[in-house]
């Protein structure tokens, strides 16, 4: 399923999102959405929980499932975020 429009709305609203990715429930502060060098739709965000713990992560949008835009919000981009420093070669939307 393609969640690009929901992810863009979450980035705009600074909403935390939750989704299943590679069998794990993830909780993420979404920061940027675009395409990587191989043309794969990719979400760049700060993972709060799930998978291998808290850190910057890239998620291939096509394998995200059960995405929920929560009412939880974050107040600003994470320290160290730079939309030019992501692994995205084409940027669709960013903080």
- What is the distance between the alpha carbons of residues 78 and 80, in angstroms, rounded to a whole number? 6
**pLDDT of 84:** 76
Q: What is the CATH number of the domain that holds 81?
A: 2.30.30
CA Rg, the chain, in Å?
12
CA quadruple 18, 94, 45, 11: dihedral, nearest 10: -20
Whole domain around residue 9: which residue ranges? 4-94
For the cut 80, the answer to whether the pLDDT of residue 32 exceeds it is: yes
Segment 66-83 shows an average pLDDT of: 92
Per the structure, the count of domains in the chain is: 1
The whole-number average pLDDT for the span 10-24 is: 97
Q: What is the pLDDT of residues 49-67, one digit of tens each?
A: 998 889 999 999 999 999 9
């Amino acid at each position: 399923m393609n969640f690009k429009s929901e992810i863009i709305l979450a980035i705009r609203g600074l909403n935390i999102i939750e989704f299943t990715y590679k069998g794990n429930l993830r909780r993420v502060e979404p920061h940027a959405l675009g395409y990587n060098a191989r043309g794969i739709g990719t979400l760049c965000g700060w993972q709060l929980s799930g998978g291998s713990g808290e850190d910057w992560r890239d998620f291939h949008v096509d394998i995200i499932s059960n995405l929920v835009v929560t009412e939880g919000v974050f107040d600003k981009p994470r320290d160290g975020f730079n939309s030019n420093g992501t692994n995205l070669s084409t940027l669709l939307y960013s903080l």
